[in-house]
């Protein structure tokens, strides 16, 4: 072969090699690429709330399939080492975008920074990673969720004509920024009540990892120290159900209003039975759809659409965000959650709950 042709072939090989390197580090596929986007999602666990497996996985999968992209959804089952291992495997497998629900901000930050260093785009899903580097954040307005919980407990206490009730608080996990935002919301409603003397501030404690067994132990200790607790601000349905189980042992279920959030089947059944005051419904499908839309945009090196910015106080930055609107659910509007398709009538109205469903128009 002539030397000039040898040089040309070598040059073409070098250009091809450089192009391949550039594409693998871009974190997405540009408009000229035919590579199919691949998106990885790491869910936190299946214990803190049923929603991660029953709702988030379902709606994310449906949205990814509709978008025609490859995806991999895995659950870390509250194991920080496993969380990092899954992230490493996804990055190695060639995901363009990594979506995470962090177990804590330290672990989340390490994963996000590693992904960024490898040219993989990132999204914080549901929980903001403080000090992290996610390009987008998709969630609900968690301060508003907390506000709805505080207002819900106040409404139920008022309906029961409670006089100076002692209010116990089961906060969420201290490592979850959402728990901080929730507390900002419900304390903004309850603190003035304490100050005025309308309510008495009772035991107030965080529950590590949103764990139901921990919540049961903590609440039992609360009742021992303050037997006449008259209301429970529980930060989610898992914690709320733990408190209800303890109250049931003392035949006080239904006599002490309890809050929650996530609108799980169990919580809605507790509301129908009169054991839980209210929950907060977060339309996870909207959250999942918004996340998939952003992820596909990032995979194609396009700018995503947002409707808010959220302050990361540790990272000292404003994170472009999509925040959906939560809805308070009481006994008279449990039907709305079924009508929205979040839970099925068959699951909610099984057995003894059939009559209770019928009473609120779920037929």
Q: What is the DSSP string of 45-103?
A: -SSS-THIIIIIHHHHHHHHHHHT-EEEEEE-TT-HHHHHHHHHHHHHHT-SEEEE--S
Residue 125 has φ and ψ, to the nearest 5°, of -110, 120
Q: How far apart are CA 259 and CA 166, in angstroms?
A: 15
DSSP 3-state of 266:
helix
- Where the chain has pLDDT below 70, the residues are 1-34
Closest CA to 356 of 260, 283, 275: 275
Mean of pLDDT over the chain: 91
pLDDT the model gives residue 242: 98
Q: What is the DSSP letter of 36?
A: P
For tokens 């214990």, name the residue: 47
The pLDDT score that the predictor gives to residue 35 is 75
Helix, strand, or coil (residue 126): coil
CA 220 to CA 231: how far, in whole Å? 14
pLDDT digits (tens, 9 = 90+) for 268-307: 999 999 999 999 999 999 999 999 999 999 999 999 999 9
Count CB-CB contacts under 10 A for residue 252: 17
Say what the pTM is. 0.86
* b/e burial code for range 321-341 (CB count within 10 A of at least 16 → b): bbbbebbbbbbebbbebbeee
Q: What confidence score (pLDDT) does residue 229 get?
A: 98
């Amino acid at each position: 072969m002539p030397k000039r042709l040898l040089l040309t072939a070598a040059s073409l090989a070098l250009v091809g090699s450089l192009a391949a390197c550039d594409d693998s580090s871009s974190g997405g596929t540009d408009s000229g690429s035919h590579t199919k986007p691949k998106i990885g999602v790491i869910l936190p666990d299946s214990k803190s709330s049923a929603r991660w497996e029953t709702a988030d996985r379902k709606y994310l999968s449906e949205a990814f399939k509709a978008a025609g992209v490859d995806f991999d959804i895995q659950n870390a089952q509250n194991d920080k080492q496993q969380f990092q291992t899954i992230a490493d495997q996804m990055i190695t497998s060639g995901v363009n975008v990594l979506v995470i629900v962090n177990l804590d901000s330290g672990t989340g930050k390490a994963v996000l920074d590693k992904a960024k260093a490898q040219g993989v785009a990132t999204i914080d899903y549901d929980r903001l990673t403080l000090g992290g580097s996610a390009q987008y954040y998709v969630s609900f307005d968690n301060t508003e969720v907390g506000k709805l919980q505080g207002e819900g407990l106040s409404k139920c206490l008022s309906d029961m004509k409670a006089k100076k009730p002692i209010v116990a608080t089961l906060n969420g996990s201290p490592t979850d920024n959402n728990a901080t935002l929730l507390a900002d919301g419900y304390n903004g409603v309850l603190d003035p009540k304490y100050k005025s003397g309308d309510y008495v501030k009772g035991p107030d404690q965080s529950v590590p990892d949103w764990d139901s067994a921990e919540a049961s132990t903590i609440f039992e200790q609360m009742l021992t120290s303050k037997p006449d607790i008259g209301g429970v601000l529980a930060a989610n349905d898992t914690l709320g159900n733990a408190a209800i189980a303890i109250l049931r042992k003392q035949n006080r279920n239904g006599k002490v209003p309890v809050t929650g959030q996530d609108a799980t089947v169990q919580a809605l059944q507790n509301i129908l039975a009169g054991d839980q005051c209210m929950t907060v419904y977060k339309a996870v499908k909207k959250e999942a759809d918004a996340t998939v839309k952003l992820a596909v945009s990032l995979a194609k090196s396009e700018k995503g659409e947002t409707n808010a910015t959220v302050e990361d106080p540790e990272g000292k930055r404003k994170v472009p965000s999509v925040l959906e609107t939560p809805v308070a659910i009481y006994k008279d509007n449990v039907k709305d959650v079924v009508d929205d398709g979040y839970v099925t009538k068959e699951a909610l109205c099984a057995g003894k709950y059939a009559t209770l469903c019928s009473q609120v128009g779920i037929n």
